[in-house]
Amino acid sequence: MRIGLLLERDVVPYWASMAVERIRASEHADIALLILDHGPPDRERSSSRGSPLYRVHAWYDRARHGNGQDPTLDVGIPPGLERVSRMRLGRREGAPRSLAEGDMSAIKGQDLDVILDIGGVTPIRDLSECSRYGTLSFHPCDGRCYDGRYAGFWEAVDRVPVTGSHVIRVKDGVATVVYRSFSHTITWSEKRNREQVYHKGISFLPRMVEALYQRGEAAIASEERVPLVGEAAPSRPAPGNRDILRYVARLASMNARNIASSITSEEQIAVRYRLGDGIPESFDGFTTLIPPKHLWWADPIVTRQDDDFYIFIEELALPRSRNLGHISVIKVDAEGRYQAPVPVLQRPYHLSYPFVFQHDGRHYMVPESSGARTIELYEAVEFPYRWEHVMDLMKNVHAHDTTLIRRDGRWWMFTNIMENPGAPVDDELFIFHSRDLLSEEWTPHPLNPVVTDVRTARPAGPFCERGGFLYRPSQDCSVCYGYAVNINRVVELSERSYRESLSNRIEPGHFENTTRVHTFSHMKGFTAVDTFFMRSRLRPGR
């Protein structure tokens, strides 16, 4: 594919530079033209510096949370583009928002498939007529309530659960949204909230180019029309002094409550289970296992051997920041009586989410091992207490909560992946498939990521079946990590497509004294969940 890059000047922000590098590394994309636009900026889109208090707030936010690469800082044009043809745009006399006809003809003569706009000042209506698929541009906002001015700020001020981002296509003067994503809103830092969106957005334009190559027009077909950039009224004004005072007061109040709460109580996780064949309709009658105060139990995954059930968990000595998790198992007999957890798998890096399953009469486990940047497969050589490493299903990948299912003679791997450093880990679900479980060659799904929404992406436990339908538990991490569990019905799963729809939700209100519901594991005869609760520091106990 022949790609044109639309630049505002001779530098680009870091996120755009990384996106261009990824496109250049592709085997099917050729950056054929750099279009430099030094024309008048769009005054409606240009951002003022905000009020004096906003500038002080922004300075403090940068100083307080300045670690890591800022994806919005300008860097040079990526190396390797020095030999790419360049042209500078002109404007029609008396019409500064219209391109000179000679420039339009010259661009059309390049036979471009698509133009990627990373400048933001060019009259896109004209330029969208100059390539086969028009123009594509990334926007760090939801494009509805928030328009990207002061990206990340108003979402944090309003304390909305999610911060959106999207890609707009403009073709023949018509703008449509062709890609959407949602992240958890970081309410305590505008800078962090903005940067996570840009870090994730590094992948968006390369994905769209890949999709265009693979599927053509169908990859970007959309009926969600939006106003052209520069033609919509601002959704919010520039932040004023009162906005900053209100925001800072709210942060101070929140911090005071958190400090007071941390003195008197701490958040812990309980593992709960109940015998019974069906997927629970209610959550009464669960046996609750509360760990000792110095331990953390999480991620219960259930399997069965003979008449006994086994709950595999992540076990971690507190404080969590100083220790590594390992895998332990809780044995539960047919009467519901349980035994204390026994450690079964430890590594020199953190382990969690012990996805255990059976195949050909053998027990296997795929624990989360993102600290080693692997997806590892283990086999029980003496179930359930001794496990040996079989192979790495994937390497050099930052994957979380990998969940497998065998369907139609094929293994399907569902896993959350963080593609770019600084991006959120809870937002994007990827699918891979293979006919052989013991394979290092897993084929990525063409729609990856199949879910890009913090409210429904991250796996929350094994698949389960009811009434002939397949259900995928997932986490809702919008309010906070592991806030609730969604039960999603899988509508379609194939090598070319994936669709799911929300069937049910398990929220904290389903359980007494519960702040979050994190994992759901069901098999015939048994269900286990883990729930967060507040535990008093002042009350004596284990």
Q: State which H helix or E strand residue 21 sits in.
A: helix 14-24
- What distance in Å separates the CA atoms of residue 124 and residue 121, rounded to the nearest whole number? 8
Strands (E), 323-427: 326-332, 342-345, 352-359, 362-369, 374-382, 386-395, 399-407, 410-417
The domain defined by 2-253 folds into Rossmann fold (3.40.50)
* DSSP sequence for 274-296: EEESSPPSS--S-EEE---TTEE
Residue spans of the chain under pLDDT 50: 41-47
pTM score: 0.94
Percent of the chain surpassing pLDDT 90: 76
Residues 6+ apart with CB under 8 A from 355: 301, 365, 366, 367, 401, 402, 403, 404, 462
Question: b vs e for 37-54, b when ≥16 Cβ sit within 10 Å of the residue's Cβ?
Answer: bebeebeeeeeeebbebb
CA distance 468 to 470: 7
**Which class does domain 265-535 fall in?**
mainly beta
The span from the first CA to the last CA of the chain, in angstroms, equals: 64
326 to 294, 354, 392: CA distances (angstroms): 15, 9, 18
In contact, 523 and 461? CB cutoff 8 Å: no
Q: Where are the domains of the chain?
A: 2-253, 265-535
Q: How far is CA 263 from the centre of its chain?
A: 32
Nearest-angstrom CA–CA distance, 329 and 403: 18
| Rounded-to-integer distance, Cα 444 and Cα 448, Å | 7
pLDDT tens digits for range 363-384: 999 999 999 999 999 999 999 9
Per-residue pLDDT tens for 36-61?
886 554 444 444 578 999 999 999 99
pLDDT in the model for residue 173: 87
Q: Under DSSP, is residue 196 helix (H, G, I), strand (E, B) or coil?
A: helix
Round to whole Å and give the CA distance between 183 and 226: 21
Q: What is the pLDDT of residues 382-399, one digit of tens each?
A: 999 999 999 999 999 999
Contact (Cβ atoms closer than 8 angstroms) between residue 323 and residue 307: no
Strand-pair partners of 529:
272, 520
